[in-house]
A and B are shown apart, each in its own frame.
With several copies, the nearest count.
Chain A
Amino acid sequence: MKLLYFAWLRTKTGVAHEEVAPPEHVRDVASLIEWLPTRGPNFADAFKNTAVVRVAVNQQYARPDHPLKAGDEVALFPPVTGG
């Protein structure tokens, strides 16, 4: 599974993108968001307030119950501020 981080989620985690193999129980967006802060202090800090984290799966906005599978591209980012 490919994870991408943008804006302050990128600067706080220190990761722009990575390949991960999450544990078995990570099967949807909600469980991914629960797992991520357990990966170290920078992740714990970045995912302190998950209410402001937006998720896209394969470049489409996804809800917490969106299922995840091995080849997915999952992006994590704060609310957008373009335009």
Chain B
Amino acid sequence: MAIRVQREDFDVGAELAALTENNHGIGGVTSFVGLVREMGGGPSAMTLEHYPGMTERQLAEIEAEASRRWKLDATLIIHRYGRLEPGDRIVLVATASAHREAAFESCHFLIDWLKTRAPFWKLEETAKGSHWVEAKEGDDIAASRWAETTANEKG
């Protein structure tokens, strides 16, 4: 159960290996790596702003909620901030469980909730200057399919 918010890149292989080390009850690890995607109109970098303190708190709450809902042996969320370029890793979410269903569902749950609740904002650089990326309604819909009591906590 680990949360890290950092400027630096991360080593996916090393992180996943550390997650399952010495726990031979784990049957599977599902992970999601989010990358900076190049939008139409050529290369565009972005800067991720966040709310230090609240970010860690929200991620820890999301992670605790996943551990309540599924039987998990280990979870990891790493989210970067600062300036990132197309192809750069932004986020890693990984969940380990005895069974693959729990690993898949909890990992999917974590990234969906993270996208609607973790206080990060993307400032995209384009040829015409910088602009703040608008939230996608699809993210709220994706998160809402997991909704139970947590759904109405969002302000």
Contact = CB atoms under 8 A, between A and B. Distances in A.
Chain B associates with chain A: yes
Interface in A1-19: 4, 6-8, 10-11
Given A7-B132, A8-B132, A75-B51, A81 B120 contact: yes
B120 A82 contact: yes
Main SS at interface, chain B: mixed
Nearest to A52: B135
A81 B122 contact: yes
B107 interface: no
Contact count band on B: 20 to 34
Interface string A39-61: 00000000000000011100111
With most chain A CB atoms within 10 A of its CB, the pick from B79, B114, B119, B133 is B119
A16 B134 CA distance: 20
A83 interface: yes
A66 B52 CA distance: 22
A56 B51 contact: yes
Main SS at interface, chain A: mixed
Contacts, number: 84
A79 interface: yes
Interface of B: 34, 48-51, 53-54, 57-58, 79, 90-91, 111, 114-123, 132-136, 153-155
27 contacts: A6-B119, A7-B49, A7-B123, A55-B155, A56-B51, A56-B119, A56-B155, A59-B53, A59-B54, A59-B58, A60-B54, A60-B57, A66-B155, A75-B119, A78-B135, A79-B134, A80-B115, A80-B119, A81-B121, A81-B132, A81-B136, A82-B115, A82-B121, A82-B122, A83-B79, A83-B90, A83-B114
